[in-house]
């Protein structure tokens, strides 16, 4: 029997394969696979949006340096971020855990403590889940459920040429936070007596260990009357997410190197680690900021926003994504998505 | 630091602990933790019901004898069963997988083939999910979403004394199917040349490998105008589920040994394995039948139903659950739920 390795197919190949095989038959299903969340219309004046994520020990987190309460918080936040990316308001989550016997009740309490703080912060109810044992590491699967007014939903496939591309916050920090933690782990393994050297890295560590879903931006956009023409959350890196928007919307994009939002600590640490800061911004994952497009007419409402960078514009050249460097040279951008396998 | 083992707390202890800590704040949340599915009211004339389950290799299934396409089917069916247990109609599912590199694309295709057949059978749309790598075995996390007319929802906590207790299909078969498969595995491990002895066990194997959610019963109850006064699906065994209904509804129950539904193959195989058939019915898991209560006035509508057994009645003595044996002696029933840890 033929054996094809998963890595030959890759993440997008696998998703495409599933999407091609499954056709939606229920009229309630407005949008299935292919956006940050599924969109369901059960006949009210809001859509129900549903998103799910699975976090696996040894793949997504390393318990040797990730405190359980931060992990609980982050697991919720990354799911809320998907609801935010639909311009939605999160309302409920379910939390399923697979645990081995090495976890004590106190450890589970710490995990749920983080989950609870996130529920309080994002005003969501924990409404269910499943808890089971695991032969190996910890697995956390969370489903987030939210609502969005029908005329305010933001998909990936609805960007248009000339729309302005916006990014919230700053990028690349979570990736460098991970590099700092990995380095300290290696130092510790080599010499357990060494004290960790984390001074001056507070911002990066926070970005990696306790990211926030940008619900504040969602509420603000609503207040100033801006509905993004498209939106996605930045979980795998700006380049990858921009490619998703362009692929779904059948557009291209031009972004400007000198507009890319980067924190001073991110920049300095990148230099220290001998990594190009722009690469961190483009390909570093886990920032959980929002990437969205707006109509040109909404430009005045947003142009002076301290926490939203206007980084470029959509074009009518499908899939061509160009980075306009500081020297003025346009460079094509590629992104692979993750290759876990 | 104090360390308390998870097994000291148990499944119910852990759920109680979580439930006590988390309070619902959103008016959309009608019912959170503590039923087969969460119940959400987003302002339409139906409730949205959401349930989630996690299946872990080596805990819930053994790939040495479970074909991947059956596993895919079963993973969907057990979630649909939770929607059925709310008297709901399933509409969408999300499927998240953690996979190690030992799974080929062909293996994943087989798994999704089973998922697709279940989606077709139960008329649900696959609307999302997450696929990631795993350092160890396969983990499948499925969330099912459905709808139920508001006046037809069936909770666990709404049974009343004198309501008639009903069970669909027959019980204990899935458990004995598992015993047969485990026995064959041991024989095979001892001598790989031996052919499996599965003749005459077709029904039990089907019950274990490809259980069905009883949506047929849900549609039928609707057709004959019966709304259960309470309902739960039988995933952990009749005794455990009856205890859930009684605990939630603050009732007791009397059930009759001679009314318990058992298939001939289940009975004979139990005797063959030297296990009390009644124990299989009461404590064997994974049948995914429905346990529900109806008002006495609905008795005539259901009394001659070939696939619904009327097994007893609810009492006003909280938590006292009695089995009236064939000899006429009432015996108290206990149930532990699972103890995975």
CATH code for the domain in which residue B261 is found: 3.90.650.10
Q: What is the pLDDT of residue B115?
A: 98
Rounded to an integer, the average pLDDT of B288-308 is: 96
Give the CA angle between residues A69, A72, A78 to the nearest 5°. 135
Rounded to an integer, the average pLDDT of B296-300 is: 97
69-128 in chain B: CB under 8 A from chain A: 91-92, 94, 96-99, 101, 103-106, 108-109, 112, 116, 119, 123-128
Rounded to 10 degrees, what is the CA torsion of A33, A39, A43, A45? -160
- B336: confidence class by pLDDT, cuts 50, 70, 90: low
- B338: confidence class by pLDDT, cuts 50, 70, 90: very low
Chain A hits for B135, CB-CB cut-off 8 Å, are: 56-59, 136-137
Same domain for B111 and B136, yes or no, is: yes
Q: What is the pLDDT of residue B339?
A: 42
Same domain for A188 and A253, yes or no, is: yes
Rounded to an integer, the average pLDDT of B69-85 is: 97
Q: What is the pLDDT of residue A197?
A: 76
Chain B hits for A72, CB-CB cut-off 8 Å, are: none
Domain assignment present for residue B8? The answer is no
The answer to the question of whether A329 is labelled as a binding residue is no
Spatial CA neighbour of B254 closest among B190, B316, B304, B167 = B316
pLDDT in tens, B171-207: 999 999 999 999 999 988 888 887 777 888 999 999 9
Domain assignment present for residue B291? The answer is yes
Give the end-to-end CA distance of chain B in Å, rounded to a whole number: 21
- Chain centroid to CA B118: 16
Q: What is the pLDDT of residue B1?
A: 66
Rounded to an integer, the average pLDDT of B70-75 is: 97
**ipTM exceeds 0.95:** no
Same domain for B124 and B220, yes or no, is: no
* CATH number for the domain harbouring residue B52: 3.30.1330.10
216-235 in chain A: CB under 8 A from chain B: none
Q: Which of B59, B126, B145 sits opposite A50 (nearest CB)?
A: B145
Same domain for A192 and A106, yes or no, is: no
Chain A hits for B126, CB-CB cut-off 8 Å, are: 18, 22, 32-33
Q: Which of B105, B121, B152 is the last residue of a domain?
A: B152
Rounded to an integer, the average pLDDT of B50-60 is: 95
Chain A hits for B22, CB-CB cut-off 8 Å, are: 116, 119, 125-126
Q: Do B54 and A24 touch (CB under 8 A)?
A: no
Domain assignment present for residue A107? The answer is yes
CA dist., res. B292 & res. B289, Å (int): 10
Domain assignment present for residue A337? The answer is no
Q: Which of B88, B117, B152 is the last residue of a domain?
A: B152
Q: Do B139 and A137 touch (CB under 8 A)?
A: no
Chain A hits for B56, CB-CB cut-off 8 Å, are: 98, 132-135, 139
Residue A313's CB is within 10 A of a number of other CB atoms, namely 18
The average confidence (pLDDT) of chain A is 93
pLDDT in tens, A181-193: 999 999 888 888 8
Same domain for B135 and B175, yes or no, is: no
46-65 in chain A: CB under 8 A from chain B: 46, 48, 50-60
Chain B hits for A138, CB-CB cut-off 8 Å, are: none
pLDDT in tens, A231-288: 999 999 999 999 999 999 999 999 999 999 999 999 999 999 999 999 999 999 999 9
Domain assignment present for residue A61? The answer is yes
Same domain for B279 and B185, yes or no, is: yes
Burial label for A113, CB within 10 Å (0-12, 13-18, 19+), is middle
Same domain for B95 and B220, yes or no, is: no
Residue A137, chain B, CB below 8 Å: the answer is yes
Same domain for A203 and A323, yes or no, is: yes
Domain assignment present for residue B159? The answer is no
pLDDT in tens, A52-86: 999 999 999 999 989 999 999 999 999 999 999 99
Q: What are phi and psi of A98, to 5 degrees?
A: -110, 125
pLDDT in tens, A85-142: 999 999 999 999 999 888 999 999 999 999 999 999 999 999 999 999 988 789 999 9
Report percent pLDDT > 70 for chain B.
98
Rounded to an integer, the average pLDDT of B229-243 is: 96
The answer to the question of whether A16 is labelled as a binding residue is no
pLDDT in tens, B146-159: 999 999 999 999 99
Q: Is the pLDDT of residue A337 over 50?
A: no
Q: What is the pLDDT of residue A334?
A: 75
Domain assignment present for residue B339? The answer is no
Is the CB of residue A320 less than 8 Å from the CB of residue A252? yes
Same domain for B108 and B170, yes or no, is: no
Q: Is the pLDDT of residue B166 over 70?
A: yes
Q: Which of A99, A119, A152 is the last residue of a domain?
A: A152
Q: How many domains does chain A have?
A: 2
Same domain for B286 and B171, yes or no, is: yes
Same domain for A140 and A230, yes or no, is: no
Same domain for B197 and B140, yes or no, is: no
Spatial CA neighbour of A321 closest among A269, A270, A252, A275 = A252
Which range of residues forms the domain containing residue B98? Answer: 27-152
Rounded to an integer, the average pLDDT of A205-216 is: 97
Domain assignment present for residue B113? The answer is yes
Q: Is the pLDDT of residue A14 over 90?
A: no
Q: Which of B92, B101, B139 sits opposite A341 (nearest CB)?
A: B101
């Amino acid at each position: 029997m033929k054996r094809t390795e998963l890595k030959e197919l890759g993440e997008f190949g696998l998703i495409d394969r599933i999407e091609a095989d499954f056709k939606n038959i229920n009229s309630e299903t407005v949008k299935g696979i292919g956006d940050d969340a599924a969109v369901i219309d059960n006949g009210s004046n809001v859509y129900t949006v549903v998103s799910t994520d699975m976090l696996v020990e040894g793949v997504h987190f390393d318990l040797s340096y990730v405190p359980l309460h931060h992990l609980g918080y982050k697991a919720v936040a990354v799911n809320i971020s998907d609801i935010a990316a639909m311009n939605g308001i999160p309302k409920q989550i379910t939390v399923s855990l697979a645990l081995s016997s090495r976890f004590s009740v106190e450890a589970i309490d710490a995990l749920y403590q983080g989950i609870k703080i996130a529920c309080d912060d994002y005003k969501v109810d924990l409404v269910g889940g499943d808890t089971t044992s695991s032969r190996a590491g910890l697995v956390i699967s969370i489903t987030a459920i939210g609502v969005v007014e029908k005329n305010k939903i933001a998909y990936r496939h609805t960007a248009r040429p000339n729309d302005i591309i916006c990014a919230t916050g700053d990028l690349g920090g979570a990736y460098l936070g991970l590099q700092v933690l990995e380095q300290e782990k290696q130092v510790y393994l080599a010499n357990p007596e060494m004290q960790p050297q984390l001074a001056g890295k507070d911002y990066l560590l926070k970005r990696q260990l306790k990211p926030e879903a940008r619900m504040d931006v969602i509420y603000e956009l609503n207040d100033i009357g801006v509905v993004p023409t498209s939106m996605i959350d930045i979980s795998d890196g700006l380049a990858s997410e921009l490619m998703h928007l362009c692929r779904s919307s059948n557009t291209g994009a031009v972004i400007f190197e000198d507009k890319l939002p980067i924190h001073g600590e991110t920049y300095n640490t990148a230099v220290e680690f001998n990594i190009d800061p722009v690469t961190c911004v483009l390909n570093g994952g886990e920032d959980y900021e929002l990437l969205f497009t707006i109509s040109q007419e909404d430009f005045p409402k947003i142009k002076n926003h301290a926490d939203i960078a206007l980084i470029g514009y959509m074009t009518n050249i499908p899939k061509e994504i160009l980075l306009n460097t500081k020297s003025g040279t346009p460079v094509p951008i590629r992104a692979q998505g993750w290759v876990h396998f």
